[in-house]
Structure 1
Amino acid sequence: MPEGDTVWRAARDLNRALHGKELTRCDIRVPKFATVDFTGRTVRDVVARGKHLLIRVEEEWSIHSHLKMEGLWHVYPKGGKWRRPAFKARCILETETSTIVGFELGFLRIIPQAEEDDAVGYLGPDLLGPDWNAEEALRRLRADPARPVGLALLDQRNLAGIGNVYRCELCFLAGEHPLTPVGEVKNLPRMVELAHRLLEVNKGRSTRVTTGSMLRDPLWVYGRTDRGCLRCGTRVVRSELGDNELEQRVLYHCPHCQPARDTA
């Protein structure tokens, strides 16, 4: 599932393939931008911003994409066999040596670089960005103390890069039920620091690990309804949580390690 670490790796790999290179092909398979052709133009750089990715073409334009749930970018040697069917491709860029393909992208659009801040400026501090600011992330989280922490962590306006896997694992590691109001979280600064540490540790890995073990069980509770909590063995509860019906996301927690607050 694409989260901030996935997008960071995609930006790194695309930047290696495209930075300073002239495009020999540009095929954008999104109707609104199908006539855009950057052939002959040079890619300045590729950067990640939370879960967003920006491919900057010279000093003027950016190819702005978001992976959503299914999207991914692949880099192939020019002429190499694709690992996904061609009908799923939304963007194809080529240089003299490489073919870069964006498959099933959540969205893709072309924007002037001068409008990048309008496109991604609403995001909170980027957990993997050079300007990561834990205090600003905490300020944004604390601005709505009644909001369940399981929703606040997933809100990219608070801090950018956390997806559903990290949301579940962070609540577990902090010993907090996902419905605990932000204002009642026992150690919110530690949770934010842990989020930063986990994404930093995992950004170079193909397998996301929160337990410290890449060989056995990489996650504590996420997806473990059939196996139980890795720490205590209690049956993991699977539910859904979102701000509305359209934004419901699967949630996992251990009722023993993450007891609900006693409201009596």
Structure 2
Amino acid sequence: MPEGDTVFLAGHRLDEALAGRTLLRGQLRHPRLATADLKGRDVLGVRSVGKHLFTRFSGDLSLHSHLRMDGAWHLYRPGERWRRPGHQVRAVLEVPDRVAVGFSLHDLELLPTDQESRLVGHLGPDLLAADWDDGHEAEAVRRLAADPDRELGLALLDQRVMAGVGNLYKAEVCFLLRVSPWSPVAAVDPAEAVRLSRKLLLANAWRPEQSTTGELARGRQHWVFERTGRPCFRCGARVRAGGQGAGVLERPAYWCPRCQPGPIA
């Protein structure tokens, strides 16, 4: 599932391409929305909330989309060949010089703009919110610290605690805090965990590359994420991986057994 910074960047690019323009085509290829036609509506803007996107139109109407594991929004010039097959297309929003195509958007819904909170009101503070302040930080810290016995990795992934962290940043935050992903929340300073999560997301919010090490060279971008069996950049021990969570919520966890003491899978 995309990280919050990926969704943030997608929203920013869509906003730049569509906002302030009138739709020449507005097709939604989804069973529940097949009869909807957005042609002629003005695009007021695109905003991200955690891993959710809202495209707002004139007439108090918003299109909600969630990328989940394989969804994506692409931007094309009119007539340009699409990079994914047509049967994956769920939305086409065309303005005079750009075409936004949504592929594999499993979650797609039209709703009144003033009801957007119905879909995201349960989320914790958005780590990439433009209006982030001390109040947002305090609320995220409160939510993270509310269950001190919970595994830190699972708590970081919980969008109800704070919105935006995915499996990549879960692994990297745990490494930088020097605890295993299975360590309890009580093993760290929750305020430090929140600040670090926001810092890493912000560092990558305006580019497609995601680096937590400060390097962009291939194989040097992450401390432990997807580096199973390779030497830790800090101590040289072999990075390990194991499953964390249960059922559909299970995700791989990566850690250095020497740099990150604590419980393991």
Query: For residues 71-90 of structure 1, what are the structure 2 equivalents within 5 Å?
Result: 71-90=71-90
Contact 2:2 2:166 in 1 (8 A): yes
Q: What residue is the counterpart of 2:259 in the other structure?
A: 257
Structure 1 residue 198 displacement after superposition: 0.9
Whole-angstrom CA distance in 2 between matches of 1:221 and 1:92: 38
Aligned to 1:25: 25
SS at match of 1:197: helix
Mapped to 2, the partners of 1:201 and 1:160 lie a distance apart of 16
1:146 CA displacement: 1.1
Per the normalisation by structure 2, the TM-score is 0.94
Match of 1:248 in 2: 250
RMSD between aligned residues: 1.4
Instruction: Give 3-state SS (helix, strand or coil) of 2:195's partner.
Output: helix
Shift of residue 218 of structure 1?
A: 0.2
Matched, 1:148 2:151: yes
- Alignment-mate amino acid for residue 54 of structure 1: F
1:114 partnered with 2:114: yes
Matches within 5 A, 1:89-108: 89-108=89-108
Task: Output aligned runs, 1:189-200, within 5 Å.
Answer: 189-200=191-202
| CA-CA distance at 1:93 after TM superposition | 0.8
Q: Which residue of 2 aligns with 1:220?
A: 223
Residue 221 of structure 1 contacts residue 228 of structure 1 at CA under 8 Å; is this kept in 2? no
Q: Distance in 2 between matches of 1:36 and 1:230?
A: 52
Length-normalised TM-score, structure 1: 0.95
Q: CA deviation at 1:98?
A: 0.9
Is 2:229–2:240's contact at 8 Å kept on the other side of the alignment? Answer: no
Instruction: Report the AA paired with residue 178 of structure 2.
Output: G
| Alpha-carbon distance in structure 2 between the residues aligned to 1:226 and 1:21 | 50
Q: What secondary structure, in the 3-state scheme, does the structure 1 residue paired with 2:206 have?
A: coil
Q: How does 1:139-178 map to 2 (within 5 A)?
A: 139-178=142-181
Instruction: Give 1:87 shift.
Output: 1.3
Cα offset for 1:17? 1.0
For residue 42 of structure 1, what is the aligned residue in structure 2? 42
1:234 maps to 237
* Cα displacement (A) at 1:97: 1.0
Report how far residue 26 of structure 1 moved: 1.3
Q: Summarize deviations over 1:123-169 as a string: whole Å, max 9, x none.
A: 11111102321111000111111111100000001100000000001
Partner-residue secondary structure (3-state), 1:32: coil
Question: Aligned partner of 2:152: which letter?
Answer: V
Contact 1:69 1:106 in 2 (8 A): no
**How far did 1:4 drift?**
0.6
3-state SS in 2 of match to 1:124: coil
Corresponding residue for residue 205 of structure 1 = 207
**In structure 2, C-alpha distance between the alignment counterparts of 1:108 and 1:238, rounded to whole Å:** 34
Q: Which amino acid aligns with 2:174?
A: C
| Matching residue's letter, 2:3 | E
Q: Which residue of 2 aligns with 1:130?
A: 130
User: In structure 1, what is the Cα distance between the partners aligned to 2:233 and 2:69?
Assistant: 26
Contact 2:145–2:190 at 8 Å: present in 1 too?
no
Secondary structure of 1:16's aligned partner: helix
Which AA in structure 2 matches 1:41?
A: R
Q: How many aligned residue pairs are there?
A: 260
Where does structure 2 lack aligned partners over 5 or more consecutive residues? none
Residue 230 of structure 1 and its aligned partner are, at CA, apart by 2.3
**Could you tell me whether the CA contact under 8 Å between 1:88 and 1:103 is conserved in 2?**
yes
Counterpart-to-counterpart distance in 1, 2:110 and 2:192: 38
Whichever residue aligns with residue 227 of structure 2, its letter is R
One-letter amino acid matched to 1:75: L
Does the CA-based 8 Å contact 1:68-1:106 persist in structure 2? yes
1:183 is matched with 186
In 2, Cα distance between the equivalents of 1:174 and 1:69?
27
Q: Which amino acid aligns with 1:58?
A: S
Runs (4 or more) in structure 1 with deviation over 4 Å come to: none
